[in-house]
A and B are shown apart, each in its own frame.
Chain A
Amino acid sequence: MEIALEAEQLGKRYGRTWALRDCSLRLPAGRIAALVGPNGAGKSTLLHLAVGLLRPDAGAVRIFGEAPYANPSVLPGIGFVAQDTPLYRDFTAAELVEAGRRMNKRWDGALARNRLAQLGIPPKLPVGKLSGGQRAQVALALALAKRPRLLLLDEPVASLDPLARREFLQSLMGSVADSETTVLLSSHLLADLERVCDYLVVLQAARVHLVGAVDDLVATHRQLVGPRHGGEPIDGVDAVVRASHTARQSTLLVRTSGDILAPEWTVHDVTLEDLVLAYLAEGETTTSHAAWEVPA
């Protein structure tokens, strides 16, 4: 199995704050991976490290086995759409396609033009005058025209309305479905990506909390409802990810490796959303009472 993106103890620091820390993950080629986490979790940092814009302060990141920082030979293989899809706003879409041809050895201009034509993007209008959704489509078309092996999208749908989101993701899936392109796209909302991704990376507070193929993750997690639980081990449960209690009842989200036979527990399957929320809630939030000068 080829690994498209591999991070090993990867870390990036801004001043004294770690934006990303101890990040280890391996993204197999051909996957469509969602990178999920709240704002400020380190998603952009991870993507910037992957595309070589940033230099790691700790550990290493490799794209198809090569370190991307200060290594332009990696760039032709990566399509990158940065947050807010920055483009030269006074360029027309046609000029941007031309600019892409001038800046890339491998360039499929016809692919970009066909895509943009199909989407009804005007070629002679400065892209600054297009809607946010159209601009995102232009940026995606430019990234796809590189015929990348790895496509990195940083919050591509964050600024789009729900309809434009769906269209964007549909057209993205349509274009990568028949190619071997590996996709890693980030969002702070899982709902955006749930239907399209088959691999999941959950980041919070600069750390990786969960990583794996969606099928495996769903298969190895269960929700248990039963009498109030005091923390004693349950047969078949590897770990309790999150527990919530009422006076007489406990709801647990657990990781299992086998069947749970204990009769007092009702076992439910989990949705991807339950899973992500449970892992995000597990991450501690640090308080700042002292900085606000208010009592804790």
Chain B
Amino acid sequence: MIWLAWRQHRKQLLFTLLGFAALAALMVPIGLSMRHSFTELGLPDCVSQLARSDVDGAAANGCESAFRQFTNRYQSLNLVAVLLVVLPVLVGLFWGAPLVAREVEHGTHRFAWTQGVGRTRWALVKFGLAVVVTVTLAIGYGLGMAWWVSPLTQAAHEGRLGFIVFDLQGIAPIGYTLFAVALGIFAGTLWRRMLPAMGVTLAAFIGVRAAVAILARPHYQAARTRTFPIEGAEPLQESRGNWVLASGVRNPDGKMVAADTRIMCPPGGKGPDGHRCGEELGLQPGAYNWELYQPADRFWLFQWIETGIFVALAALLLYLAVRRIRRIA
């Protein structure tokens, strides 16, 4: 059986590996040059400095501008990162969807499933190998992307928990890729034709991924809040690495006055026409900045939760696919 699967899919595997090699040939030089600039601008020191709480203002300002310089130079690469997020679904489309659908479309399932091993065994071996290949590819992808994207992530405020970068690295890609492949296989057992199966896989993958990322992920753990005054001598400290879910300025009674903004006035500062800081917005004395966030050190916890969700979904889909296969003739 394993021999059959290998013989059947060796070309596909070769093309996949070639595609990966081509991608690596493109990405590795970019990644190297990005890391070179990162070191040249002295950013590794900045990262460790800013991680401390007692960082002095001048050094922080210098670092911020160096980060800005780096970000400006490599900003366009964020687009590349977005494009790379689609890789798992491609694996699902080209490995998952045809696995059963192509057999049925060509009628070869009537040959394969009437041999001595039977179709359940056939399905288990095929799905098992698909899972092994998928996990291997996804581990390579996750490690490679973590290496590639880390300068961009460190330079950005939201850190590794931010959208897109969270999805690119660590173990989450394993979950996504497994889910995409399982979805493709299951869609293939339902529609039994490659193109509809691929279309359904694409649509369902995007839907589920977006729903989990937007609706579920911010709530894996209760978010923390941070408050700080709207008046102070220090320039506004941006939080680094934390994933800010919501922010705004609140009055002392807790009422949100201005959402999605922050205010910082010098101590006792007055506006041009003698107003108190933020008075024209309706801020009362004692108003404060408010932030709801997931702290940066929850990265791995969130990765495990996210991966767990998608692996569980993948397992469910594969189970359903094995059951569906018994009903195909």
Contact = CB atoms under 8 A, between A and B. Distances in A.
Interface string B115-154: 1111111100000000000000000000000000000000
A261 interface: no
B285 to A, nearest CB: 74
Given A98-B3, A99-B3, A53 B110 contact: yes
Contacts of A70: 120, 326
A195 interface: no
B329 A54 contact: yes
A102 B116 CA distance: 9
Nearest to A89: B106
Q: Give the secondary structure class of A's interface.
A: loop
Contacts, number: 74
Contact of A103 (B107, B108, B117, B326): B117
B52 interface: no
A99 B114 CA distance: 13
A179 interface: no
A102 B8 contact: no
Interface stretch (A80-88, A199-207, A208-216, A251-259): A80-88
Interface residues of B, number: 26
A72 B107 contact: no
A195 to B, nearest CB: 27
A80 B110 contact: yes
Interface in A61-110: 70, 72, 75-76, 78, 80, 82-84, 86-89, 91, 95, 98-100, 102-107
Contacts of B327: 55
Interface string B1-24: 111100110000000000000000
Contacts of A27: none
Interface string A134-156: 00000100100010000000000
Interface string B269-304: 000000000000000000000000000000000000
Interface string B29-57: 00000000000000000000000000000
9 contacts: A53-B328, A72-B118, A72-B121, A75-B118, A86-B107, A86-B108, A98-B3, A103-B115, A146-B115
Interface of B: 1-4, 7-8, 106-108, 110-122, 326-329
